[in-house]
Amino acid sequence: MLKPTSGKIQILGGTPDDKRIRSRIGFLPEESYLYPFLTGQETMRFFCRIFGLGRREAIERSRLLLHQLGIADAAGRKIKEYSKGMQRRLGLSIALINNPDLLLLDEPTSGLDPIGSHEIKSLLRQLKDQGKTILISSHLLPELQSLCDRIGILFQGHLLREGTVREVLERKDTRCCQVSGLGDAAHGELAAWIQAQGGRLEKDEPALQNLEDVFLQEIVTFKGKSR
């Protein structure tokens, strides 16, 4: 929508003002502007028709995406009754209507609980495996670290750093070793050996799991006991 003052932009081998290029792009804004008195199903069919899908194709595509995003049970409810997380899922469903080659996502997991966030990230990994390019803008840095192949750090309009996750995060002067199965005596000997070699044991504490992994493990265990 904004006209550049200088420079050029090339997307998918074309320019952003080419409708053929735009038809291959899916976009999820930070806030999805949805009609509150339409149902989820009506909303999806409305956007399907905007994309040029026929009536029967729109019904099938809507049903598939609502199921894929986990809101098929709420398809008949009005948008005004949706939680923010459900609206986020619906917004992503809309972004996927045209089976885009390029996805532009702004805070895709905003408002989602840990389970919903995990499901969305799993879906994004599947889309990546299908060969789709996904550009995510987010302030949730651990999430980006686990999802992305490449990371760029933007600040006040300046690209401060860009590269693969390893290139951006790697400390050149530090090695990380995770050791298990050592008793206290052996552990002490290892620490003494590191110091004798001129190294510094900067961190010596039990290894921690990722909080999301622990949360999901507890949910799975709980569901198993409840059966």
Query: Is residue 126 in some structural domain?
Result: yes
- What is the bridge-based pairing of β-strands 25-28 and 158-164? unpaired
Looking only at Cα atoms, what is the longest distance across the chain?
Answer: 74
Residue 125 maps to a domain: yes
Number of independent structural domains in the chain: 1
Query: pLDDT tens, position by position, for the chain (227 residues)?
Result: 778 888 888 999 998 889 999 999 999 998 888 999 999 999 999 999 999 999 999 999 999 999 999 999 999 999 999 998 899 999 999 999 999 999 999 999 888 888 888 888 989 999 999 999 999 999 888 888 888 999 888 888 888 888 888 888 777 766 777 777 778 888 788 888 888 888 777 666 665 566 567 667 777 888 888 77
Confidence (pTM): 0.76
Domain of residue 67 covers 19-138
Query: Is residue 55 a part of any domain in this protein?
Result: yes
**Is 196 part of a structural domain of the chain?**
no
